Amino acid sequence: MVRTGSHAFIHYGKEGTFNGGASETRAFGLEQKMNSLTFKNNQIALSQLNSIEVASFAYGKNEGNGSVDFVLSNPWVFDTLLGAVDKTGSTNDWTYIWDSDAGNLTADNTGIKTPESFDIEVAFDAKSTLTDVKRNLHGSVFNQLNIKSSIGETVKGTLDFLYGKSDTITTSVGTPIGDGIDFPYTFAHASIELLDGTPVAEVQDFDITFAANTELLYAQGDPNAVGAFRKLFEMTGKFNASFLDKTQLQRVLDRTELATLTVEFTNGLSTTSEKTIKLEFAGISLSEHSLSIAPNEPIFEDLTFQMRNVTVTANNSVTKTVTSGNLV
């Protein structure tokens, strides 16, 4: 008897303390897919003189990693990397704002320098003679978020994470959570703007990565991670668009740093059902320009860039509890 994804679900929630566990209240989005969920106890094989056999085993630190693919259908995934959030608005018209600059929010966002930890629940409900299995990945920290889309597609995301504690495994899985699963954002309702608010013409695709460069922290006397820390928070992007003039190429040749770049997408619905996410980047360094030329084919240019800062603004009718800058 084999299990399938129709008998599995994935939830996550923010921990109050590292490795402390949490109530898993959110889904990442639609079409969630867990990739290569791995746990290692770092077994050490020990030998002995006068033998070629393994004499004994020892065990090192506990560590695990994985990634989740999903179709973007909510803005809450940005909470995994960007820390505190501001909330304003009123019924059916709420605004949530995250910012990579610790000083740009009303809420205290100095915690962005230290990654927040989450509890990821991976559950498999019973099928026929099989039993329920639930894995709780305490002390999970998200290391990278990738957002991308192209013509005819939804906006898709991938979140990479680390965890450093042996799973808590039980046989009571509860019920699937629908929070975070909504009408998806699409490329057909997306735009990219540089500098003056004029959309980049005829964009074919875009790809944006937030890399937190997070590492787990270990200490004497415990095989589990005791915390996590961040190195350089890096943001990179790339888009492909029709090659219409020399503008983007000249900017790369001149090593021009642009003030702003904005990527915005909606779910394409109207009135209170409309949901938007706007990524406003500041300090844009254009690093690479490329294009291909072939007979009878359109010519597109690829532009690669890095960013210093981002403000994420989400507008929708969903009310979420925010306490001291923490999304509940």
Please write the tens of the pLDDT for every residue from 98-139. 998 877 778 777 667 788 899 999 988 776 567 888 889 999
Lowest mean pLDDT among 59-63, 114-118, 196-200, 261-265: 196-200
Which of 92-106, 159-173, 239-253 is the most confident on average?
239-253
What's the token pair of residue 305? Answer: 């860039």
Mean pLDDT of all residues in 74-87: 90
Average pLDDT, the chain: 90
Mean pLDDT of all residues in 305-323: 90
Q: What is the pLDDT of residue 111?
A: 65
pTM given for the model: 0.92
Give the pLDDT band of residue 68 (cuts 50, 70, 90).
very high
Other CB atoms within 10 A of residue 244 CB: 12
Give the pLDDT band of residue 198 (cuts 50, 70, 90).
confident
pLDDT higher than 80, residue 328: no
Mean pLDDT of all residues in 172-187: 76
What's the token pair of residue 202? Answer: 């005829």
What's the token pair of residue 240? Answer: 């492909």
Q: What is the pLDDT of residue 127?
A: 66
* Three-class SS of the chain: CCCCHHHEEEEEEECCCCCCCCCCCECCCEEEEEEEEEEECCEEEECCCCCCCCCEEEECCCEEEEEEEEECCCCHHHHHHHCCCEEEEECCEEEEEEECCCCCCCCCCHHHHCCCCEEEEEEECCCCCCCCEEEEEEEEEEEEEEEEEECCCECEEEEEEEECCCCEEECCCCCCCCCCCCCCCEHHHEEEEECCCEECCCEEEEEEEEECCEEEECCCCCCCCCEEEECCCEEEEEEEEECCCCHHHHHHHCCCEEEEEEEEEECCCCHHHCCEEEEEEEEEEEEEEEECCCCCCCCEEEEEEEEEEEEEEEEECCCCCEECCEEC
Lowest mean pLDDT among 2-6, 244-248, 315-319: 2-6
Return the biggest CA–CA distance within the chain: 79
Q: What is the pLDDT of residue 129?
A: 64
Q: What is the pLDDT of residue 128?
A: 59
Q: What is the pLDDT of residue 206?
A: 97
Q: Which residue has the tokens 């964009």?
A: 203
Q: What is the pLDDT of residue 151?
A: 96
Q: Which residue has the tokens 């702003």?
A: 260
Q: What is the pLDDT of residue 306?
A: 96
- Does residue 122 contact residue 37 with C-beta atoms inside 8 Å? yes
Mean pLDDT of all residues in 204-212: 97
Give the pLDDT band of residue 180 (cuts 50, 70, 90).
low
The rounded distance, in Å, linking the Cα atoms of 146 and 211 is 8
Lowest mean pLDDT among 82-91, 166-175, 199-208, 303-312: 166-175
Q: What percentage of residues in the chain have a pLDDT greater than 70?
A: 95
Give the pLDDT band of residue 179 (cuts 50, 70, 90).
low
pLDDT higher than 70, residue 182: yes
Sequence-distant (6+) residues with CB within 8 A of 75 are 96, 275, 277, 312, 314, 316
Q: What is the pLDDT of residue 166?
A: 76
Q: What is the pLDDT of residue 103?
A: 74
State which amino acid sits at residue 53: E
Nearest alpha-carbon partner for 285 in 261, 311, 317:
261
For 243, list phi and psi in degrees, rounded to 5.
-85, 100
Give the pLDDT band of residue 285 (cuts 50, 70, 90).
very high
The rounded distance, in Å, linking the Cα atoms of 42 and 62 is 7
> Would you mind telling me the total number of residues written for the chain in this entry?
328
Lowest mean pLDDT among 81-95, 172-186, 225-239: 172-186
Q: What is the pLDDT of residue 215?
A: 95
